[in-house]
Amino acid sequence: MTIHQSRLRFFVGAAAVAAALTLSAIALTAQGGPAPQTPFDSAQGRRPMKIGLIGSGQQGGALGLLWAKAGHEVLFSSRHPENLKDLVARAGPKARAGTPQEAATFGDVILIAVPYGATPQVGRDYAPLMKGKIVIDCGNPREDRDGPMANDAIAKGTGVASAEFLPGVRLVRAFNAISFTMLQKEAHRAGERVGIPVAGDDQAAVATVVRLVVDAGFDPVVVGPLSRAREFDRGTPVYVKGMTARQLREALKLPPRP
């Protein structure tokens, strides 16, 4: 099967008309058009999401602040939630602190922002609480920090490896190819925004994450299924380069926007 045929198979499954419509909506969002319909959209407008953050360090903290400012309910978590008071105060009245277990229970969407070597333990501890939920994986395996498991994850592709560690969740790979300093400095910038590559096998989950990328102040670029998330893993040419969506699409050989 050629790369072109593989993309067509993902985006327009013969028995998945609804999925195709969802991805069409994603494309419109990436072009500045209407937001895709998600479980958090209604006739009354777009409902705030409940977002649980497992890991509230530099990356998780920066994203949680952006989502809280966008109107979402955010639960920052730590094994020592009392240390998150300043972060919660900066996030405002829609934020609070708790344990990772509370974050996994609270969130309609969960962000996992821990050192990648902790991902298997997160799965063992909290996968039952996250079953059926949308989970965003933004971790990057590093052998110097995470040991040999990092090399195994890189060889498989991080998205595929994370899916094995987190069974039963609706996994989406996103926000791993941008640094926390870019999250802090480049959100909602004027002109062309920084692009965020997104990959996942569940199109409705991808559509929800696309909305969260936009709400955070960035430009979503849907790359394809989790198997293609390796194309924006750590060490790839697009990793933490601060590319615009247009530049990302060119680098990843995705179709240009109409």
Q: What is the phi-psi region of residue 139: left when phi exceeds 0, alpha when psi lies from -120 to 50, beta otherwise?
A: beta
pTM of the predicted protein model: 0.85
Specify the 3-state DSSP secondary structure of 116: helix
Confidence band for 257, pLDDT divided at 50, 70 and 90: confident
What is the average pLDDT across 66-70? Answer: 98
The reply to whether 2 falls in a domain is: no
Could you read off the pLDDT of 11-44 as tens digits, one per residue?
Answer: 433 223 333 333 433 443 343 334 455 666 644 4
Strand pairing partners for 42?
A: 45
The reply to whether 27 falls in a domain is: no
The reply to whether 246 falls in a domain is: yes
Q: Are 203 and 172 in contact (CB under 8 A)?
A: no
The reply to whether 7 falls in a domain is: no
Could you read off the pLDDT of 126-139 as tens digits, one per residue?
Answer: 999 999 999 999 99
Specify the 3-state DSSP secondary structure of 198: strand
Q: Which two tokens stand for residue 56?
A: 């509230």
The reply to whether 234 falls in a domain is: yes
CATH number at residue 72: 3.40.50.720
Q: What is the pLDDT of residue 223?
A: 98
Q: What is the phi-psi region of residue 168: left when phi exceeds 0, alpha when psi lies from -120 to 50, beta otherwise?
A: left
Please tell me the distance from the alpha carbon of residue 208 to that of residue 200, in angstroms, as a whole number. Answer: 11
Q: What is the pLDDT of residue 35?
A: 45
What is the average pLDDT across 75-86? Answer: 96
Q: What is the pLDDT of residue 194?
A: 98
Is pLDDT of 145 > 90?
yes
The reply to whether 24 falls in a domain is: no
Specify the 3-state DSSP secondary structure of 195: strand
The reply to whether 148 falls in a domain is: yes
Q: Which two tokens stand for residue 131?
A: 């079953």
DSSP alpha helices (H): ranges in the chain? Answer: 3-11, 17-30, 58-69, 85-91, 100-106, 119-130, 143-146, 148-156, 158-165, 180-186, 203-216, 245-251
By residue range, what is the domain housing residue 247? 47-251
Is pLDDT of 5 > 50?
no
Total structural domains within the chain: 1
CA angle 93, 99, 104 (to 5 degrees): 90
- Mean pLDDT (the chain, rounded): 88
Q: What is the pLDDT of residue 40?
A: 67
Q: What is the pLDDT of residue 33?
A: 39
The reply to whether 97 falls in a domain is: yes
